[in-house]
Structure 1
């Protein structure tokens, strides 16, 4: 399967809900060379390119081991987990919260390692215009493959611990990963609580590893 299609597996694993990412307010635009948010996404793109080029020779475990530290650096996994779970998060125990964050991390790494498993000339391009969304920043990228249509990915980043970290991803600049996950996670939690959601995330990890 073409990497350009498998690359969006992280976003499209769950039911699709479309959101606009351009609220009707004025946004500042900063050159990519001056914006640290772009540097975070460049680190991610470089990491993904490396595991694509490693491909089958690295194996799933090797790709997961290599992309794991990049995910930890670029993504705000605790915030993404909390935002994805939604209101139910406040009533969960600290133990369940910790277990969910770890399961969310495993799933994120596994899906990247599973989807980016080969390279045939794909190239990431970062839009030089970085936009602000309140206190957040939006970095747009395009994944171009030798064949097929380009895949557009926009990353919403927020400052955490002195660095810019991803809290949401938009596929084709409109489909919010956070929104799709929140919809699906709410249903799972309402049926089986935190443990059911942990099991669901672990199932996604196992599926990505096949």
Structure 2
């Protein structure tokens, strides 16, 4: 549909956090650890957006997801990891521009693809602490029609008391690793402006579709 990096189905899935439930009570939520809650809050926003259906506009879905996606992911860290050593060659202004473009692209990607709900179900998250500042949260998506199962493993990191997503591994494939390979390659081939344009064009095209 659009010429964009990270657009095929496997990459989309790798970028996405899956939904397993909504409407959690305060009593239930109080028993859930902080990394799991990050996933739950994002999942609830995504399922609510899906239930708006394809009749809703891209902008409606984008606005509904923007705050939650922004809070759930640590885009500063993701941006730095995605560009590797090239990150340190960017000016402060260029870093800010890249972070914002990556965030806009990510939210737009959700808004484009999470536009309908057809009864999918998700397994509850199961978390494992790597240490006091890192945790892995796992879940799986079960599609009711095909019975297909995809596994998802989310790496979250705590900084200043706040847990945020750093990476998603889908069926053993790291979204951050794929993203780094594509973005650094594009940056080296075509330069920083082309990199921003590639990300920004996806949002622009989606908003006019």
Judge same fold: TM > 0.5, yes or no: yes
Q: Distance in 1 between matches of 2:79 and 2:196?
A: 11
Q: Which residue number corresponds to residue 130 of structure 2?
A: 133
Structure 2 residue 208 is the aligned partner of structure 1 residue 205: no
Q: Distance in 1 between matches of 2:110 and 2:158?
A: 23
Structure 2 residue 152 is the aligned partner of structure 1 residue 153: yes
Instruction: Verify the 8 A CA contact 1:10 1:111 in the aligned structure 2.
Output: no
Measured after TM superposition, the shift of residue 154 of structure 1 is 1.5
What RMSD in Å do the two structures reach over aligned CA positions? 2.3
TM (norm. structure 2) is: 0.81
Measured after TM superposition, the shift of residue 205 of structure 1 is 2.8
Cα 1:108–1:39 shift into 2, 3 Å: same
Instruction: Verify the 8 A CA contact 1:10 1:108 in the aligned structure 2.
Output: no
Which one is further off, 137-146 or 63-72?
Answer: 137-146
Measured after TM superposition, the shift of residue 200 of structure 1 is 1.5
Residue in structure 1 matching 2:43, options 34, 41, 45: 45
Q: Which residue number corresponds to residue 121 of structure 1?
A: 119
Cα 1:85–1:167 shift into 2, 3 Å: same
Instruction: Verify the 8 A CA contact 1:125 1:141 in the aligned structure 2.
Output: yes
TM (norm. structure 1) is: 0.80
Tell which has more relative contact order, 1 or 2 (C-alpha 8 A, sep 6+).
1
Instruction: Verify the 8 A CA contact 1:136 1:156 in the aligned structure 2.
Output: yes
Q: Which residue number corresponds to residue 83 of structure 2?
A: 85
Q: Which residue number corresponds to residue 110 of structure 1?
A: 108
Measured after TM superposition, the shift of residue 208 of structure 1 is 4.8
**What runs of 5+ residues in structure 2 fail to find an aligned partner?**
1-7, 17-29
Cα 1:137–1:165 shift into 2, 3 Å: same
Q: Distance in 1 between matches of 2:49 and 2:142?
A: 16
Q: Secondary structure in 1 aligned to 2:51? A: helix
Q: Which residue number corresponds to residue 59 of structure 1?
A: 57
Instruction: Verify the 8 A CA contact 1:10 1:112 in the aligned structure 2.
Output: no
**What runs of 5+ residues in structure 1 fail to find an aligned partner?**
14-31
Residue in structure 2 matching 1:186, options 181, 184, 187: 184
Q: Distance in 2 between matches of 1:102 and 1:87?
A: 19
Measured after TM superposition, the shift of residue 132 of structure 1 is 2.6
Q: Distance in 2 between matches of 1:68 and 1:6?
A: 21
Structure 1 ranges of 4+ moved more than 6 A? none
Q: Secondary structure in 1 aligned to 2:55? A: helix
Q: Which residue number corresponds to residue 11 of structure 1?
A: 14
